[in-house]
Structure 1
Amino acid sequence: MGGEAYFRKIGRAWKRGYLLHGPPGTGKSSLIAAIAHFTGYDIYDLELTDVKNNSNLRKYLTAISNKAIVVIEDIDCSLDLKKRPGEEGEKKKKKDGGESDDDDDDDDEEDEKKSKVTLSGLLNFTDGLWSSTGSERILIFTTNHIDQLDPALIRSGRMDMHICLSYCAFPAFKVLARTHLDVEDHRLFPRIEELIGEVQVTPAEIAELLIQNRSHETPALESVIAALEAKKKAKLNSSQVD
């Protein structure tokens, strides 16, 4: 029984949650675009820092269509996950005690401009959104720093799958070479395979080099080798300094 049919059978709305994590330039946004193209779902890019408060968040989420993908990129930067529960209380206590200065007033003005969306508000509304029937929705979070996320945000049942998009390995490079240069094999591939195993390079960096030199495969691959060798040299110099 297919996923959607199974969820209908057990009386639950069909929904999926995905967490995409990894360094910048490893393809998180590209994967989201591919999912949207494959499913044909409407895609909503929700920028939490532009949402004033939890009430506004509720309005946005309840207004989305069926068969939708809701994307929150850089979730670790979109919410103040580091704020301790006592901070607001300490701030209020300081004000009540009469201790205030111009810096505090500036902070208050800055706070007024900031989003008041809370982690609990986001979790409550997204969970409530998925509990509504007749909706096929996908929720996608992205982050460059999975270690900074609150466990409540990514627990089982909320995020169905964690997908790590890491640095470019040789098999991924071959896909990029085939896509951009229409090359299945080349005499320079062994050298690239050797170098790519020694340094960290993102698929975005490789793709940019191939696109710039797409008319001629050998110069394109030579530019990749030059970039990888430069990274290797920088890595060696850094280790010698340490």
Structure 2
Amino acid sequence: MEPAAKKALMDDLDLFVKRREYFKRVGRAWKRGYLLYGPPGTGKSSLVAAVANYLKFDIYDLQLSNVNSDFMLRNVLMGIKNRSVLVIEDIDCSIALPDRSIPANSARPKQDPKITLSGLLNFIDGMWSSCGDERIIIFTTNHKDRLDPALLRPGRMDMHIHMSYLTMNGFKTLASTYLEINHQHWRFREIEELLGSVEATPAEVAEELMRTCDADACLRGLVNFLKDKKRKRTIVESGEDASPGAETTDGDDTTPGVELIPKAKKIKTNGLQDVFCHK
């Protein structure tokens, strides 16, 4: 995450756990709602775990597709302990909620009959949501625009956090964590230029940084990976055909004794990630 966004989230969490008497005085349930949105692979699920670790809260992972009715949803809420994080991942595709932007007299697609939008809203911010203290509800989605505005308002999702593609600040954090590089490496300037021209997720870059224990080899492979993404984007924008023989790497990026993983195999590394994002 960007340092400013990370600090804002941590400050919000710190304030939340200190306000027991405040919530009691104003007569509101002691809970907080967060929406994490952005493309797949940008760290939404990892951030949920980080929040729970930071607060030392338990995590409840709620699969709405397994809930058969609004009544069952209420019972689930009643079974959640205090000092806990309730996470509902991919809220936009977990269940089919009605699109209220479509006029009532228009033909609407068939909706999921098990959970109603009213039941979900009451679950988040209704009377039964007050039965418990110090709870955090986190929703994740790849498409914020698909959510009903009623779900997004304060009191339900109090803080919206955009998880974006990797920036240079985020890359430096990954380089420090995975490669223990805490200084300005000579390849950082080139990587910064490439990150400014391509969309790379933290998950993709982290995968490149885990390929070997040799930091120089990892950064060299990352540069090739980013150049390849940039080349493919240019081909798509120009409308040209991508031929297998067009994939090339810079001559100075080949080192005797260092075996780089072929690009055809690199493309397949996101398969497991896709399974998790669309479970």
Scaled by the length of structure 1, the TM-score of the pair is: 0.84
Q: Is the 8 A contact 2:42 2:163 kept in 1?
A: yes
Aligned: 1:74 with 2:90: yes
What is the distance in 1 between the residues matched to 2:108 and 2:158?
37
Quick one: which amino acid aligns to residue 14 of structure 1?
A: W
Identity of aligned residues (%): 50
What is the distance in 1 between the residues matched to 2:104 and 2:27?
41
Change in 2 beyond 3 A, CA 1:182/1:115 = farther
Quick one: which amino acid aligns to residue 212 of structure 1?
A: R
Contiguous gaps of at least 5 residues in structure 2 = 1-14, 241-279
- The answer to which structure, 1 or 2, has the higher relative contact order (CA under 8 A, 6+ apart) is 1
Shift of 1:80: 1.2
Shift of 1:63: 0.8
Query: Structure 2 matches for 1:144-223, cutoff 5 A?
Result: 144-184=142-182, 185-213=184-212, 215-223=213-221
Change in 2 beyond 3 A, CA 1:90/1:174 = closer
Deviations 1:183-217 (A, max 9, x none): 0221111000000100000000011110122x101
Query: Structure 2 matches for 1:49-198, cutoff 5 A?
Result: 49-82=65-98, 116-127=114-125, 128-132=127-131, 135-184=133-182, 185-198=184-197
Change in 2 beyond 3 A, CA 1:85/1:119 = farther
What is the distance in 1 between the residues matched to 2:162 and 2:22?
27
Change in 2 beyond 3 A, CA 1:40/1:129 = farther
Aligned: 1:30 with 2:29: no
Change in 2 beyond 3 A, CA 1:74/1:115 = farther
Number of aligned residue pairs: 220
Contiguous gaps of at least 5 residues in structure 1 = 92-106
Q: Which residue of 1 aligns with 2:269?
A: none
Scaled by the length of structure 2, the TM-score of the pair is: 0.73
Q: Is the 8 A contact 1:48 1:115 kept in 2?
A: no
Shift of 1:147: 0.5
Q: Is the 8 A contact 1:42 1:68 kept in 2?
A: yes
Q: Is the 8 A contact 2:39 2:164 kept in 1?
A: yes
What is the distance in 2 between the residues matched to 1:126 and 1:225?
44
Q: Is the 8 A contact 1:130 1:137 kept in 2?
A: no
SS at match of 2:137: strand
Quick one: which amino acid aligns to residue 128 of structure 2?
A: L
